[in-house]
Homo-oligomer: A and B are copies of this chain.
Amino acid sequence: MRNILTDTLTATYRVRSSAADIAARATAIAVEQSVEMPVAPITHPFVRDTIIGRVEAIKDIGDGLFDVRITLSAATVGDDPGQLMNMLFGNSSIQDDLTLLDAELPPSLLAKFGGPRHGMAGLRENVGATGRALTASALKPQGLPAAELGALAGRLALGGLDYIKDDHGLAEQYYSPFHARVPAVQRAVLAARKSTGRATRYLPALSGTLETMRAQLAIARTEGVDCVLIAPMICGVSTFHALVTEHPDIAFITHPALAGASRIAPPLHFGKLFRLFGADGVVYPNYGGRFAYSPETCRDIGAAGKAPWGGLKTTIPIPAGGMTAERAPEMLAFYGADVMLLIGGGLLAAGADLTNVTARFVKAVEGYRYT
């Protein structure tokens, strides 16, 4: 079960091609994603028999599209999440006739990366929520000084939210650097918890390198923070996973910034790969907001994150991006209770009435009857 020398992984690409060309194109992809050179001069038996990618299946799905399944040696990945991305889509990402549709990984790689350390159950347990969807909002706009972000967080927390995250645009800007922002926000959230009796969590956004993120996590820990936001496609999946491994008691929610629209199918990207590397929850653009994902894509992201996969914990889907409190019932009907509803601007637009509007959103989610 854990023999990395003989284990294989399978990548499925959706390729635009003519029927006449697809066999050759599939072979070219298998070569591109493995040895990346003409195969004729390769005489080394191990390379020839094990390392060169193999075309396993080609399926015509109509409209000039083919799903091509390619098998690669798991030994090519080593221990590195970045190298897994490289093997799945490194060079092929630069070609414009294919997308990465799915990946199947051997138990050895699932065990190596380990998936979420807390997962959906841990995020529920944090805030004592069972049998209902979780609620969340975001601290915006960037540009506010730390004290004002703190005040804003306090007003959101008084509304009874489960999670309040930094806007992903909050980084190390002079107007609200991490070391100023995190204490201000966390203390405001803790103060509000005394009023509400809830266990509202603050998720500060990490930014920079492994080294700067480690320093940020040290600050966060000092303040009692135990959940953070991270954008793996900006910092690199290797950095993301290293932090997950080093901080098993911290929950990690991923942000999709710089993930691209669809070169990697979103259910694979967020529901499988980010989960594999340790995402306890995955933020992604919901249908009908400011982004173009279809309802089907959104449903598939959620389903992928919750599907049984080796022994990995499940990841909670966090659809967002232009959502409003009014859409809560529709979203709950669509996703069921295993979802975190993240409404940022849609709550912040309430201005002076922020806490009341937030409380009504929380109440609507908690009172929703799942059918």
Contacts and interface: CB of A to CB of B under 8 A. Distances in A.
A365 to B, nearest CB: 20
A234 B86 contact: yes
A314 interface: no
A141 B52 CA distance: 9
A259 B97 CA distance: 15
Nearest to A43: B351
A174 B75 contact: yes
Interface stretch (A32-40, A56-64, A116-124, A326-334): A32-40
A96 interface: yes
Q: Is the interface of A mostly helix, strand, loop or mixed?
A: loop
Interface of A: 4-5, 28, 32, 34-38, 40-42, 44, 46-47, 50-52, 73, 75-80, 82-83, 85-87, 89-91, 93-97, 140-144, 148, 167-169, 171-175, 177, 207-212, 231, 234-239, 242, 256-263, 285, 290-292, 321, 344-345, 348-351
B285 A36 contact: no
A140 B42 CA distance: 9
A231 B86 contact: yes
B94 A168 contact: no
A242 B169 contact: no
Residue of A86, A93, A237, A321 ringed by the most chain B CB atoms within 10 A: A86
Contacts of A82: 171, 207-208, 231, 234-235
Residue of A36, A211, A235, A344 ringed by the most chain B CB atoms within 10 A: A36
A272 B186 CA distance: 39
Given A96-B262, A239-B236, A46 B140 contact: no
